[in-house]
Amino acid sequence: MTTEDGRTTMARTELRIAAVALLLLVAGCAALGPGGSGTQTPTETAASTATGTPTPTETAAPTATGTPTDADRARYPDGWSAAGIDDPDAALAAHYRATLAGPSVTVTYRSRIRESTNDRGANTTLAMRVDTASERLYADLDGSDTHREAFFADGTLTQWSVENETVADRSGTTFSRAARSIDRSVLYSHLLLYTLERTGSVERSGTTALVYNVTGVPDSTVSNTYGTATGASGRVVVGRDGRVFDVETTVTYTGGTVTYHYGHAAVGETAVERPGWMDEA
């Protein structure tokens, strides 16, 4: 008979294996925007190919069968528990529900190489402003191969090649899909990358958020650029509604060390202006 813990372990393992195909484990391979328009996703993070990674121990009070109670689940956002992320898909969905419910927000992402044994890696940066009231967004994505900007308004997502000073892609879509398309892959990869432990709470944007310490990485977590991940440190902060406010981590690989930052700031205080290059688009 399969236990609840066994089903959870298998589900997490399958998700990590799927992440290898999703992310391709190479910076610049994932697409930005609906339909895969070819813009670089601004990161490489590793994904685990473990076939039996233990589920972190649940520290909240269990029932007689060893599973969390309904009252315990209610203390955490969908997909989360005291032991970290139980369901990455549910956690990702909760994050976007909270984000797209508003108000406006500034989203940032950075990866920085601290040490590397090869020259295949690159520092990457994302800066995005999202205004849910006007349903506009602007993003600047600077990665290893390309530097693009993106602007969404009135049902159209336009991408601008900074190097070539020309429109790289234009597609019709919804605000919700456009907002998800910019940072979904980088955030999802980080939801899969770490083992976590709840340590406390902190105030973020007028609400109480949960703080998790990064305790390591799952077994067999591999990056095509930096090799096998051997350890990680840092913290993750998530609101009780599921919004991921902060990811501040350092990951050590056999071929290097990389620091990562993902954050939500200026909640309710972010404006999105029409970029000047739209006059030429």
> Alpha-carbon distance 244 to 57, whole Å?
22
Is residue 68 scored above 90 in pLDDT? no
pLDDT above 90 for 120: no
Q: Residue 213: pLDDT above 50?
A: yes
pTM value is: 0.78
Residue 85 φ then ψ, to 5° = -100, 115
Report whether pLDDT(15) > 70: no
Q: How many helices (H) and strands (E) does the chain have?
A: 4, 15
Q: Where are the beta strands (DSSP E) in 30-165?
A: 47-48, 80-81, 84-85, 105-116, 124-131, 136-142, 147-153, 156-161
Q: What is the pLDDT of residue 3?
A: 38
pLDDT at 4: 41
pLDDT of residue 74: 61
- Give the pLDDT mean for 263-276: 97
The span from the CA of 254 to the CA of 60, in Å, is 34
Higher pLDDT, 276 or 281: 276
